[in-house]
Every structure is written in structure tokens, then in C-alpha cells.
Amino acid sequence: MKLEIYIVNAFTEEIACGNPAGVVLLQEDLPQDLMQKIAFDINKSETAFIKRTGHSEFFIRWFAPLTEVPLCGHATLGASKVIFHNHPDLSEIKFVYKDGTITVHQDPNGNITMLFPLDEYKVIDIAPEFYEFFNLREITACIQGVNTKKVILVLDEEVDLKSIKPDYRRMKESKGKSDHGIGVTKSSKQYDFESRYFNPWYDVDEDPVTGSVHTVLANYWGRQLGKKSMTAYQNSQRPGELILSIKDGNKVEIKGKARIFIEGHIKT
């Protein structure tokens, strides 16, 4: 069997920036274990598998190298870029996944806008290991997404997120609140806020630019800043910018650009 594959840098138009995602086009359903093996071999933080089910409707699933994940923003952006590239007649597409539908638009300038459920969050206690993960002396607040279950540590604006060096071994050995992923965030002078995000529990030490965590961050910072529209910067080694807009109180538009870096075929 021969499958079309793309590697797409999401939330950037540059090489060596943004978050690279695998995108695999399916003509028929594949067994879950085969999709997992393909994602393992592609070895990006997430790979999207998509199958066209209508004129502008596609079924989508996302796999990290070791497990399927319930939602992935950057791989959805990568999949959208491939579809709009292959089908220039489309300006809107819908992705159907097991928990709902994601509507995606592309404007004439190549900006891709994805509409996701806004994740509610709860304030949780700061576990002692959270300080140890990042060698932090102070954490301002700690929240956790209700649906994504991602933990986010809020730090002082003066902290240089780029300088944080996580202890991935300690993180991976820890089992508790954070094993669905943990991020750090702070307010920013150039953007509304910055972040980094880590998930060694899913074999992704650091995810460069993470759409799904911004479904929580948009909610948190929207309330903190009193804003419905925000600019965000994920300050990783492969950084990226996101434009966020809260809609109808329970959804968030995540806007960014993407660049197809590799296209080819997989032989299974």
C-alpha cells in the first residue's frame, strides 16, 4: 500500500521554525495499530491521519509516537494546509473527530483559522515536583484544563522562559496530575502572553508550538487581561506565533500560517 505523506511546519512560514507535523492522506480506513506504527516512524510530536468523507468534510485522527491523542491543534493546521494546497477551490473545510467537528477557514493571504472548543480550567495546588521539573523558585499560579487535563504553571513576567531547562527524566518518572502534559506561561511585553509546553509522558519532551494548550491559555489569559483577542508566542527552539479570538464564550479561533516542507509516499 502506498500512502501520501507530508511534513508541515505549523504556525510559521519558515524552515526550522514552528511545529512540524506529519500528515497522512487515507483512501480507506487503516487499523489503529498500523497508524500508530506509522506515527512512530514519522516521529513528529503528532501525525494527523485524514480521510475525505465529503466535498469539504474530512475525518481526522491524531497520533503521537507512542499513543493516540484526543486533539491536536498544530497537526490540524498542518492537515488544513495540505488540503487547501491540494484543493485550491476550497476556502472552508470541516474536520470530524470522535468528540465533535472543527471548522477551518483560509483567507486569501494564506492565514488558516481553526475553531476549537474553549477549554475550561480549574485552579489546582502546586505540587512540589513542579518546582523540581523546571528548577523554579516561584510559581504564581497553577491551573489545569478540564477537558485537555493539561497542567499550566503561571510564572512572573520577568522570568526568561527560553532559559528554563526541564529535567525530563524526573518528569517522565513522575506519575500524577501532570502526566497529560505540562506548560509554563507568563504575560509578555511584545505579545499578550508567552508559553512553552512539555510532554515527555507521550514521548514528546518539548512540543514546539501547541494549538491544544492554547484552548486553555486563551481562556485563562482572556480573563486575566480582559481580552477576547490576543497574540501568543510559544518560545521554544522552534518558535511560533498564534492569533487567538474567543467566540461565543465557549470557542476559540486559533489562527496561523503553515509551510509544507516535505511531500512523498509511505510504503506499508
**16 in the same domain as 39:** yes
Q: How many CB atoms lie within 10 A of CB 155?
A: 21
The residue from 28, 46, 129, 173 that is catalytic is 46
- Same domain for 165 and 206, yes or no, is yes
pLDDT band at residue 202 under the 50/70/90 scheme: confident
- 75 lies in the same domain as 141: no
The answer on 234 and 166 residing in a single domain is yes
Q: What is the pLDDT of residue 206?
A: 95
Spatial neighbors of 28 by CB under 8 A, at least 6 apart, are 51
Residue 21 shares a structural domain with residue 109: yes
Which residues lie across from 245 on neighbouring strands? Answer: 229, 253
Q: What is the mean pLDDT of residues 97-101?
A: 94
Same domain, yes or no, for 85 and 171?
no
pLDDT of residue 45: 93
pTM reported for the whole predicted model: 0.92
Q: pLDDT class for 203, splitting at 50, 70, 90?
A: confident
Element (H, E) at 54: none
Instruction: Determine the Cα–Cα distance for residues 127 and 142; give it in Å rounded to an integer.
Output: 9
Which three cell numbers, joined as nine digits, stand for 69?
491523542
CB 142 within 8 Å of CB 164: no
Q: Tell me: do 225 and 132 sit in the same domain.
A: yes
Same domain, 228 and 138: yes
Q: Do 162 and 213 belong together in one domain?
A: yes
> Within 10 A of 248 (CB to CB), how many other CB atoms are there?
8
Longest Cα–Cα distance in the chain = 53
68 is catalytic: no
Rg of the chain on CA atoms, in Å: 18
Q: In the prediction, which pLDDT does 116 show? A: 93
Q: What pLDDT does residue 11 have?
A: 96
Residue range(s) defining the domain that contains residue 103:
2-116+255-267
H or E element in which residue 129 lies = helix 128-134
- Please report the DSSP string for 56-72 in residue order: SEEEEEEE-SSSEES--
* Statement to judge: residues 95 and 162 lie in one domain: no
| CATH number of the domain to which 50 belongs | 3.10.310.10
Q: What percent of the chain has pLDDT over 90?
A: 97
Number of separate domains in the chain: 2
Claim to verify: residue 103 and residue 143 sit in the same structural domain: no
For cell 514519522, the residue is: 42
